[in-house]
Chains A and B, each alone.
Chain A
């Protein structure tokens, strides 16, 4: 609300007079005023002192006042009916959306046909050769092994479908992102306008995007590609803009003095110098697109995501894993290849005549394709598969049998879940819901302002207020309680793991592949094992969220701890500080920005899984989105989706340390 626009509090004593009449209270206030944090709080307290009585008198101090809500269900239902009735006849659909959808389908079809024509031998050879040319022999071996593994798991066709969808989605995302980034990189005004939009898009859980796209495009591949583009383009735009803006001024001036035109400057100096950021952008876009491609299976995207989704409906963890592993492998191959492309120097230094290598690669691919054809099988041969589903399921059953009730001392995972729900989640939820609405706004304002700037605080407060206006206050507080509790668990676990990982390179090396796998495994795969372990409800959703968010927290936190100035550590040690003292008094304070970034990432990631937790009884906003998707109910789904978006924005702003911190990521 308008808490921040109140005038700054009057100082208690004018600066010139304090030598003559130093009142103790005035001195105390002045001392406080000298600290920025206290100053912010004082301003806020003053604003609150004026506004809260008014707000409380007008609307009470309970949950969000109903007088301040807007019911959107009527217009939304109307809009949804209109779209369904006119989808086949209105010009906007026939001449605009229809062409978009048609073009996407044609493009995916073309890529898929090419992949099928290459056959398994051709595709594997092409992947290996591209990886070899771009990233070297090791990645090429990884690529070969990964594609072979996809075939071995019996997932060749779904993998090709996901790959076809991915290639189109990534191409469009990169094009859109690069254009936006170009505009933002060249014009300050565009940059300022675009930045909050990109920030917001990145904080949104993917699930919230799906419903509106489905309504306009129906289910299928076209809406899946579009949802993926919306989700994956922002990092490309952000990094392109960053790359263009950080060009060395000296170089630019030199180029200018040579009489280069604006376009020449862009093409010959700024873009080549931003190569690293551009390739990092492509890398990020690919990773985001892959995770979205799986979630999009809910709206009929087919491919690997659909296999995971179908396996889950038969409670078949083994099959879900068999479809999940190719996703992880694709992610690893694509990540390593693009990361290597970004890390290598300018292209001229890598080979004197690059086309020879590429021609060779093309010839080898062609010969493998022909060889595959002569063997007579274009898709992976049926006999060459390994069924991992059964053993995995046996292992899972054994684990569940032994953990569910039988743990000595703490009972079992079932009791653990009951305690987590009863002792932590319920009180937290009830507490948040009992908080007076203006109290919640004030709290968010204070937190966001202390950590960030008044801008972030204002955005956070407005987002929270928007939730109230949409009439989703209680549900959002429920979701919020789940997020907060899971974030707390994630941070405790994450920092505990990060400390040894930061101290010993060996631990870090051991941990890295595990973290990679957990982070790229589609969230859906976690859902069934956690239900088997924790029953249905909010506890399994929290468990899945913790597993999903942990890798990022461990990685960022250990990175931050490791980068702490060795000199500071050395001097602490020479002063006789123990290990614990070093950690508490040197490492943690010095790594504060990184640790805050870890908190921020934990919040964003946990929120995205807590929403998917609607599929395992997590209730609250996640359930409303699932319900909206399942029943085609735009009013419920979209309102909840917007509330989630606001919640995500609020949480992101509250935990966003400084303005530029996220740009480096």
Chain B
């Protein structure tokens, strides 16, 4: 009978909730998380992306918001494009690190004006192809893309079906690798690890056995401290090639650009977010700062909170400026 009472009570809740909101429009963009403000506190919701650098940003922002400004911070992990959606709907208040989504930027920032730019993060991001240092030392000419075919046989894996394996990570990341392999005439197959966690695990495993590999990777990334890697030079990035790629992504045949990473805030939040919004706009740090926190999280296996705490205690001169 307990169950029935409980179920009945819950059903009543649903019904009551439905009737109280039932007259008039219900704008989904005004609906915050049900966990927000549960104990009467001011809550900020941050989106955490799946890579560790982004977790470092969020961890430090969260720590400072909670301990210096008295907010409650919720973090939600969502992929990049859905995170833009969530930001525009107000489900999250801020994205701390964006690698460039021109289509979404146009739709939400310029057209719908539901998202506002939040300034630069202070870190510059670069995507490329990388090989481990021990492999590059033994075969220096692998660092030019023209010689990659020579090494295809050494880079084979069970999944690459007779070709060399180019290891890619999460499907959510920005990548032109399939087009690049085709347009540069490379004897490689792009193998998607499916998630960054799987990709990192694979890289660590290969590095432990000193096996060669070729991987899609990016800077800043803490893994470089553990597994030193060297970038393979691709045909250099030009505006012409970028324009061509923007029109038809399958024609890209040059390297990835180097782009300053940006923050984005929900437009309402920038207006009504008070101190928290100002703080998040001011948030700006260097690649080394980010890497320090990332490594504590991913390699030393500290909790994100603990890692943020240690960094905050050591670097007051960096973050004091953000509180103004």
* A interface, CB within 8 angstroms of B: 84, 87-88, 93-95, 97-99, 101-113, 116, 130, 133-134, 161, 164, 167-168, 170-172, 174-175, 214, 217-222, 279, 282, 297, 299-300, 302, 306, 309-310, 312-316, 318-319, 338, 341, 347, 354, 358, 378, 389-390, 393, 400, 404-405, 414, 417-418, 421-422, 426, 527-528, 531-532, 535-540, 613-619, 622-623, 626-627, 629-632
Contact = CB atoms under 8 A, between A and B. Distances in A.
B247 interface: no
Given A218-B28, A354-B1, A617 B198 contact: yes
Interface centre among B20, B25, B31, B159 (most CB of A within 10 A): B159
Contact of A97 (B28, B191, B194): B28
30 contacts: A95-B25, A98-B26, A98-B28, A99-B21, A102-B17, A102-B26, A104-B14, A105-B33, A106-B34, A107-B13, A109-B34, A112-B34, A171-B10, A175-B11, A219-B76, A220-B91, A279-B3, A300-B76, A300-B91, A313-B50, A313-B197, A319-B301, A341-B2, A358-B2, A528-B198, A537-B191, A614-B194, A619-B191, A623-B194, A630-B79
Interface stretch (B119-127, B201-209, B273-281): B201-209
Interface stretch (B81-89, B134-142, B230-238, B283-291): B81-89
A531 B201 contact: yes
Given A98-B28, A101-B31, A341-B3, A631 B172 contact: yes
B200 A618 contact: no
Interface centre among A106, A172, A341 (most CB of B within 10 A): A106
Contacts of A161: 35
Given A314-B298, A617-B159, A626 B17 contact: no
Q: Interface of chain A, helix or strand or loop or mixed?
A: helix
B3 A101 contact: no
B194 A112 contact: no
A130 B2 CA distance: 7
Nearest to A105: B34
Contact of A616 (B82, B107, B194, B297): B194
A102 B31 contact: yes
Contact of A629 (B18, B82, B197): B82
Interface of B: 1-3, 6-7, 10-11, 13-14, 17-18, 20-22, 25-29, 31-35, 38-39, 48, 50-52, 55, 74-83, 85-86, 89, 91, 107, 112, 114, 157-159, 161, 167, 170-172, 191-202, 205, 208-209, 297-298, 301, 303
Given A101-B26, A102-B26, A536-B159, A630 B80 contact: yes
Contacts of A84: 85, 107
A76 to B, nearest CB: 16
B182 to A, nearest CB: 18
B198 A536 contact: yes
A171 B7 contact: yes
Given A314-B197, A630-B82, 10 more contacts: A88-B28, A88-B29, A94-B25, A98-B28, A105-B34, A111-B13, A116-B38, A341-B2, A532-B205, A629-B79
A402 to B, nearest CB: 12
Contacts, number: 260
Contacts of B85: 84, 218-219, 632
Contact of A219 (B2, B82, B114, B196): B82
Interface centre among A315, A378, A418 (most CB of B within 10 A): A315
Interface centre among A318, A626, A630 (most CB of B within 10 A): A630
B116 to A, nearest CB: 16
Contacts of B83: 219
Q: Which 7 A/B pairs are nearest by Cβ-Cβ distance?
A: A98-B26, A630-B172, A106-B17, A171-B10, A109-B34, A421-B158, A627-B171
B111 to A, nearest CB: 9
A528 B197 contact: yes
A221 B35 CA distance: 9
A33 B98 CA distance: 69
B192 A315 contact: no
B171 A631 contact: yes
A127 to B, nearest CB: 11
Contact of A315 (B1, B2, B157, B200): B200
Contact of B195 (A108, A134, A217, A312): A312
A314 B52 contact: yes
A630 B170 contact: yes
Interface centre among B11, B25, B26, B114 (most CB of A within 10 A): B26
A393 B302 CA distance: 12
Contact of B194 (A102, A214, A221, A626): A626
Contacts of B78: 219, 299-300
Contacts of B107: 84
Contacts of A341: 2-3
B285 to A, nearest CB: 20
Given A134-B2, A172-B14, A309 B77 contact: yes
Contacts of B89: 87-88, 218
A161 B75 CA distance: 13
B203 to A, nearest CB: 10
Interface centre among B13, B83, B303 (most CB of A within 10 A): B13
Given A310-B48, A421-B159, A630-B170, A390 B25 contact: no
B201 A338 contact: no
A128 to B, nearest CB: 12
Contact of A619 (B3, B192, B301): B192
Nearest to A305: B77
Given A341-B3, A536-B159, A537-B159, A171 B17 contact: no
A93 B91 CA distance: 16
A617 B38 contact: no
Given A300-B78, A310-B77, A537-B158, A315 B194 contact: no
Given A84-B85, A95-B26, A617-B194, A528 B14 contact: no
A523 to B, nearest CB: 13
Contacts of A94: 25-27
B312 to A, nearest CB: 18
Contact of B28 (A101, A116, A175): A101
B86 A535 contact: no
Contacts of A309: 77
A217 B201 contact: no
Given A171-B11, A616-B193, A623 B198 contact: no
A424 B159 CA distance: 13
B201 A528 contact: yes
Contacts of A418: 158
A299 B22 CA distance: 26
B248 to A, nearest CB: 16
B86 A218 contact: yes
A532 B196 CA distance: 13
B17 A107 contact: yes
Nearest to A81: B107
Contacts of B55: 310, 313-314
A538 B81 contact: no
Contacts of A537: 157-159, 191
A409 B91 CA distance: 54
A323 B3 CA distance: 26
B198 A616 contact: yes
A156 B3 CA distance: 23
Contacts of A218: 28, 85-86, 89, 91
Interface centre among B20, B79, B83, B171 (most CB of A within 10 A): B171
B17 A103 contact: yes
A306 B25 contact: no
Contact of A108 (B34, B48, B167, B303): B34
Given A95-B26, A219-B91, A116 B196 contact: no
Contact of B191 (A107, A134, A417, A617): A617
Interface centre among B7, B75, B81, B167 (most CB of A within 10 A): B7
B3 A282 contact: yes
B194 A314 contact: no
Interface centre among A527, A627, A632 (most CB of B within 10 A): A632
B21 A219 contact: no
A404 B2 contact: no
